[in-house]
Amino acid sequence: MLRRLYDWVMRLSGHRRAPWALFAIAFAESSFFPIPPDTLLAPMVLARTERAWRYAFICTAGSVLGGILGYTIGLTLAPVGHWLLAMSGHPGSEASLRAGFAKWGVGVILLQGLLPVPFKLVTITCGLARFPLWELLAASCVTRSVRFFGVTWLVRRFGPTLLPVVERRLAMAAGALVALIALALLGLRLLPSG
């Protein structure tokens, strides 16, 4: 099933209504859809490099606005939120994210939004945890912009042949960045308050 969804997304990249599809997929991925919008963004950027930054903006806007739906699902439809988390292969992840929100707040959203983790995990859990919506939206604007404008830059810069290599290295770099930020936050927590 996931393979068919992926193939469908790839076919959309060449369609004249691809920008609308990109917005819709980015919106849906933040709340219930299993395929990340990067899979449509990258081929669109390659096909029309002169529109690359517009596509990155569309993807970011769709993702942030879709986060409102994910938040609403978690806030008002808790059983649906739990089911979506389980269906996306992350049952029980709510507890660890809630603990992360309680301890680190917006930092969790910033980190998770950059990583190749379904963003719906963050948005639905924010609703379930009754995390302030305005903080979710502000952090989402930052982290989703960095991610989608970064993907756009990488695709424009390195093209389709180097994209798999770049993606592998990005995962390592993202892991190192997470470790550095976690260490910095831990260090700040351990410092005596004056």
Domain spans in the chain, listed from the N-terminal domain onward:
2-190
Tell me the C-alpha distance between 91 and 80, whole Å. Answer: 12
Amino acid 11: pLDDT: 72
Higher pLDDT, 177 or 7: 7
Asked whether residue 80 carries a pLDDT value surpassing 70, the answer given is yes
Amino acid 129: pLDDT: 82
pLDDT digits (tens, 9 = 90+) for 87-124: 666 566 667 666 767 777 787 788 777 776 778 888 88
Amino acid 63: pLDDT: 95
- The residue among 182, 119, 176, 177 whose CA lies nearest residue 148 is 119
pLDDT digits (tens, 9 = 90+) for 4-62: 665 666 677 777 888 999 999 999 999 877 778 888 898 888 878 889 999 999 999 99
CA angle 149, 88, 131 (to 5 degrees): 70
Asked whether residue 74 carries a pLDDT value surpassing 80, the answer given is yes
Q: What is the mean pLDDT of residues 168-179?
A: 53
Amino acid 62: pLDDT: 97
pLDDT digits (tens, 9 = 90+) for 136-160: 999 999 999 999 999 899 888 877 6
Give the DSSP letter string of 51-70. Answer: GHHHHHHHHHHHHHHHHHHH
Amino acid 13: pLDDT: 72
Q: Residue 194's pLDDT band (boundaries 50, 70, 90)?
A: very low
Amino acid 46: pLDDT: 82
Question: Whole-angstrom distance between the N-terminal and C-terminal Cα of the chain?
Answer: 56
CA angle 142, 126, 120 (to 5 degrees): 70
